[in-house]
Chain A
């Protein structure tokens, strides 16, 4: 009896240690991401005037307005020190409204400010609370960085063209690999792998010259041509394995019932392969969407979105809250697409069972 108890105890202790370890590792992974999200929701005030930084973005801010010699003295409540921090001493009410918005992401309406000023005639100070505009950093990022939105569209365009090229060319290649035997097949397969692993930055400069000669330098379509090199290889490998898993007998059966070989492919094989092709498309999307090392070299006046965010992070002019909002805007589509293809990625590495 006692022995069993002891054994149970040991087992519980072991499980607990295991879960503490797992939780610890999960924390290390999630914590920075949590902070990326949090920072992208913080205002300039939370980001720069409070130390330590709050662990949660606030939903509202408290303000205090006092009469002063110059006009009005505006203070903002600092949750860390539990004190009001004097910010601005001015008689320009328009500037106060503007300042509140820029500094705290809160909207102070003119009516509200007039009310407060009216109240100030009888009181020495007025304290008030405003709700924070939670997603202002995101809209602000696009408004302040003028080329962000065109770059966003260019990035989508580039990704779509990359998908179209790699699916059509790579899909054909994958079909050939799965259905036919031909000379040099293995050599080609190895070649595809080699090209995929070759550092693309190393060829970016001559690629820029070639694109320039074609009149495609600094254009999304030229970028897509270069990006598709990597994704064609991947598409070949994935589609080859997909087509292999679809039995040739199915196609043959369809041909017996009177369709041509192309018809059989179109009506039988392709629909079955669609989910896998979609995964290839998404892989190509992520590859193109996240890429910026080549884009820096292959574009000049028409950068893609990652390049714009790259420049913003590199030269962040004291606006980390906006830089992180840009980073998040870049990350969200990639993560969503990743969720779709996660299973395929895991399977590609030899069938990880989850």
Chain B
């Protein structure tokens, strides 16, 4: 009897660890091991000798600086544009007009579409003889000979095109976070603002936005993290190397060059590490501002 209760209490103590063990094992095997190998492998050549050549290659890669610039420039500009638009849209939805539910439904459709489908759509859309120019012609905005060259392949127009495509696909998820934040706001505070004579704008500026601060940070940082995905659209629209980003270089070297010359695997690993470090620091920043670290102390 005594031993039974004893074994039961051991079982009870062990239960959560047994339940969580598979997750830890799985993560250790399929996540931590690759991560460690990436860090480790980046410092070795094909024969297993220690070398800094892979990193030297990355930092001397003529595309590296461009990749850094493009990654950050596109991320920052598109995040800014997307945030302003998403914020406006969520204010709109928050008015709770008739049909807001339907509108929210429509606005979230792009979330479900695979990147590849989105790219197929825009690639056919933005061709000079594609559907966007056709539409502009049908509504009388351009003449038959006035087709707009959206895809010239030059740097700035390409960046512009990419930001628009990305905004189309990403605004919905940003909007949802903001709408959620707004709905959780204390309405009384806003009412108080109106009672004390605030206009819509001052209430927005002095009450809504400050109260939404943590929601906004969440939305922004999550967005910056997923901005790393932007390489896919770029590659699909313009091919590799036309508008290099960090991740597109990583995939380019590992998928396009390594089969002919395996040393590119090691170089791609160096790229992996750089990408991982940049993203991890943003994630940690996110966890910090979102207050996840503080919760830990409360237990």
Direct contact of A and B (CB under 8 A): yes
Contact A309 B99 (CB under 8 A): no
Does B9 make an interface contact (CB < 8 A)? no
Does B62 make an interface contact (CB < 8 A)? no
Contact B121 A327 (CB under 8 A): yes
Contact B254 A350 (CB under 8 A): no
Given contacts A324-B124, A352-B179, contact A209 B89 (CB under 8 A): no
Given contacts A32-B168, A314-B236, A335-B113, contact A51 B134 (CB under 8 A): yes
Chain A residue numbers with a CB within 8 Å of B105 are: 342, 354
Does B123 make an interface contact (CB < 8 A)? yes
B279: which of A170, A198, A339 is its contact (CB, 8 Å)? A198
Does A194 make an interface contact (CB < 8 A)? yes
Contact B120 A205 (CB under 8 A): no
Contact A180 B16 (CB under 8 A): yes
- 12 pairs of residues in contact across A and B, judged by CB atoms under 8 Å: A15-B97, A25-B89, A33-B109, A35-B124, A36-B120, A52-B134, A53-B129, A204-B272, A210-B33, A324-B124, A327-B120, A345-B111
Does B269 make an interface contact (CB < 8 A)? yes
Does B66 make an interface contact (CB < 8 A)? no
The proximity string for B residues 92-110 relative to A, scoring 1 for CB distances below 8 Å and 0 otherwise, is 1001010101011111111
A-B contact number at CB 8 A = 277
The proximity string for A residues 308-329 relative to B, scoring 1 for CB distances below 8 Å and 0 otherwise, is 0110011010001001101110
Chain A residue numbers with a CB within 8 Å of B138 are: 52, 55
Given contacts A35-B121, A338-B112, contact A175 B103 (CB under 8 A): no
The proximity string for B residues 230-254 relative to A, scoring 1 for CB distances below 8 Å and 0 otherwise, is 0010011001000000010011001
Contact B121 A314 (CB under 8 A): no
B108: which of A290, A330, A334, A342 is its contact (CB, 8 Å)? A342
Contact B114 A193 (CB under 8 A): no
The proximity string for A residues 144-184 relative to B, scoring 1 for CB distances below 8 Å and 0 otherwise, is 00000000000000000000010011101101110111100
Contact B180 A206 (CB under 8 A): no
Chain B residue numbers with a CB within 8 Å of A250 are: none
Interface residues of A (CB under 8 A from B): 15, 18-19, 21-22, 25-26, 28-33, 35-36, 38-39, 51-53, 55, 165, 168-170, 172-173, 175-177, 179-182, 186-188, 190-195, 197-199, 201-207, 209-210, 225-226, 228-229, 232, 236, 286, 289-290, 292-293, 296-297, 306, 309-310, 313-314, 316, 320, 323-324, 326-328, 330-331, 334-335, 337-339, 342, 345-346, 349-354
Q: Which of B20, B129, B172 has the most CB of A within 10 A?
A: B20
Query: What is the CA–CA distance of A236 and B27 in the complex, to the nearest angstrom?
Result: 13
Query: What is the CA–CA distance of A72 and B17 in the complex, to the nearest angstrom?
Result: 80
Beta-carbon nearest neighbor of A341 in chain B: B112
Contact A205 B30 (CB under 8 A): no
Further contacts, 13 of them, CB under 8 A, given A197-B225, A327-B121, A351-B183: A28-B168, A53-B129, A55-B134, A180-B15, A188-B24, A190-B287, A195-B27, A202-B275, A229-B27, A323-B123, A351-B184, A352-B179, A352-B183
Beta-carbon nearest neighbor of A320 in chain B: B124
Stretch at the interface among B34-42, B75-83, B195-203: B34-42
A198: which of B37, B276, B292 is its contact (CB, 8 Å)? B276
Does B133 make an interface contact (CB < 8 A)? yes
Contact A205 B38 (CB under 8 A): yes
Given contacts A313-B116, A352-B179, contact A293 B123 (CB under 8 A): no
Contact A316 B123 (CB under 8 A): yes
Chain B residue numbers with a CB within 8 Å of A22 are: 92, 97, 99, 103
Q: Which residues of chain B from 245 to 299 have any CB-CB distance to chain A below 8 Å in the complex?
A: 247, 250-251, 254-255, 265, 268-269, 272-273, 275-276, 279-280, 283-284, 286-287, 292-293, 295-296, 299
Chain A residue numbers with a CB within 8 Å of B23 are: 169-170, 172-173, 192, 232, 236
**What is the size category of the interface that chain B forms with chain A?**
35 or more
Given contacts A198-B276, A203-B38, contact A53 B117 (CB under 8 A): no
Contact A203 B34 (CB under 8 A): yes
Contact B250 A198 (CB under 8 A): no
Contact A32 B134 (CB under 8 A): no
Q: Which of A188, A203, A306 has the most CB of B within 10 A?
A: A203
Closest chain-B Cβ to A172's Cβ sits at a distance in Å of: 5
Chain A residue numbers with a CB within 8 Å of B30 are: 207, 210, 225-226, 228-229
Q: Which residues of chain B from 169 to 183 have any CB-CB distance to chain A below 8 Å in the complex?
A: 172, 176-177, 179-181, 183
A205: which of B111, B184, B239, B268 is its contact (CB, 8 Å)? B268
Query: What is the CA–CA distance of A316 and B119 in the complex, to the nearest angstrom?
Result: 12
Query: What is the CA–CA distance of A297 and B52 in the complex, to the nearest angstrom?
Result: 24
| Main secondary structure on A side of the interface with B | helix
Given contacts A292-B116, A314-B235, A352-B183, contact A186 B104 (CB under 8 A): no
Closest chain-A Cβ to B101's Cβ sits at a distance in Å of: 5
Does B131 make an interface contact (CB < 8 A)? yes
Chain B residue numbers with a CB within 8 Å of A290 are: 114-116
Contact A32 B228 (CB under 8 A): no
B22: which of A169, A339, A351 is its contact (CB, 8 Å)? A169
Does B137 make an interface contact (CB < 8 A)? yes
Chain A residue numbers with a CB within 8 Å of B38 are: 202-203, 205-206
Chain A residue numbers with a CB within 8 Å of B20 are: 172-173, 176-177, 182, 188
Contact A172 B250 (CB under 8 A): no
Q: Which residues of chain B from 115 to 169 have any CB-CB distance to chain A below 8 Å in the complex?
A: 115-117, 119-125, 129-131, 133-135, 137-138, 168
